[in-house]
Structure 1
Amino acid sequence: MRTRLKAPTPSTVLATIAFVVVTALVLLPIAIIVLTAFKPAAEVNAYPPSLLPDVWTLDNLKTVTSDLPFARLVGNSFVFAGGVTLFALVFDSLAAYALARLDFTGRRLLLIVIIATLMIPFQATLIPLYQLVADLGWVNTYTGLIAPRAADAFGIFFLRQFFLALPRDIDQAARIDGAGEFRIFRSVVLPNAVPALLTLGLFTFVNNWNDLLWPLVFTTDAEMGTITSGLTQLTGPSGIVPHGVMMAGSLIAILPLVIAFLFIQRRFIENIATTGLK
């Protein structure tokens, strides 16, 4: 006996159309970056513009790698974004555990202060922070790039909320077995918070990899810049921007982010699906 396929309802059709349109709008800038990266300069500057290149070329990619210390910039980006992510996960998780699982005087006040720092614009603290880094002699160093971002108020709050959702019975069982607080944190809480840690790690890595202002301010040596700040050096004479070359550099810059997302996609989706559940 054959089962009849139900005709889609008007609401389903509209939802599908809306999904396709939104997806196309989201992917359009990425498609423009990819296609422009393989266009010769004449086609990039042609009017009216065309989406697909008539002639495919690798000249833009060659220009990026020849005009910039490309390998060094990419390496700096990995050290900067990866170092910040690693230290932020360690310090944020420690602070979040204390705020979520330990009872001590002033815990609520401390949490309020941490959340309040999220309301302070980053630009308001940039000058005194730069002065502090300069006084320590950390300008043009990996330490100066990483240390001021080794902890983050959003990360602490995010992990605290996740830790609050974990049953306290597992803490009590570990204490009965003689485990100390650090052992409970390392062997009990963290293994149950892997999805949250991966999610925060992805957000932190992406935000720092894409950051332009921070490496521009704290590095004056071209060899210490990141791939994002290095692309600003591609501006030609009289401020002319070689859009094809810029798109080629941007294409290479986003590839590690795509790989990072694909690598932890399963865990990332798992965390989003279980947000708010206890």
Structure 2
Amino acid sequence: MTWDELDIRLEAVPGCVSVHVGRLGAPAAYRRLADTTHYAASTMKTAVLVALHRAAEAGRLDLDAPVPVVAEFASAQPGAPRFACDPRDDNDPEVWGRLGGSASLRRLAHRMIVRSSNLATCLVMSHVGLPAVTEVWALAGARHSVTTRAVGDLAARDAGLTNLVTAADLAALHAAIVQGAEQPGPLASPAACAQMRDVLLAQEIRDDLPAGLPAGTRIAHKNGWIHGIRHGAGVVLPDDAPPYAIAVCTTAATADGGPAYDDATARRLIATVSATAWAARHRL
């Protein structure tokens, strides 16, 4: 499928599909609504990962020190009561199995990415703080993405605080991590970026971007999903071409607010974009 054919295909999809594809450090080879904001879902967890490693490098946190595993947290909305994470909304029972015990921040960050653990995310965010995550977006050159609350903070959500991303910003963030592993960059030291890249490479939920790639292709990525929303973003590392960043954000809402298609359709759509980018990898 050519880029023009992909354009026609995406134009027919209800709702909004945003795409950014391009070599690291180069202008995008393909953009479609790449600066349009979408609800972030779990893609914001990559920014939380970076904030954690930055805090560790600054000596404010020890990645390997055990921290208590709790399920109640302070709301980002001033004056609101503490909120509780819900295991029914989580994708990772392992962290819940540690409730009342302890885990290292390194372990929690790993589960936050590879299994998209909401509880691990709230725990990490409670140690790094929202301003640190905001700083990460700025350092990555993000123009429109914001993280204003933790997962499950309903009081903050109801007060209008939301987490937003764009395809362009997600591509920039993941590219900065992978590039930073090879040479000093804005986010963290090469050693820290290499650790983050390796966590993203270990992603276990592989039914969107990776589904459009040949088996065994390395991709350092994070995805996110919630009713009517599915995103995937990362860096593909082919053996026969330079790495490239790819981000696809889908919001399937119709005019009445309901989803226009289901999550399985969204995953296939993202895989189609990924396969198109892969076929063009030598010409990006």
Q: Which TM-score applies when normalising by structure 1?
A: 0.31
Higher-helix-fraction structure: 1
Larger Cα Rg: Structure 1 or Structure 2? 1
Q: Which TM-score applies when normalising by structure 2?
A: 0.30
Q: Which has the higher contact order (CA 8 A, sep 6+)?
A: 1
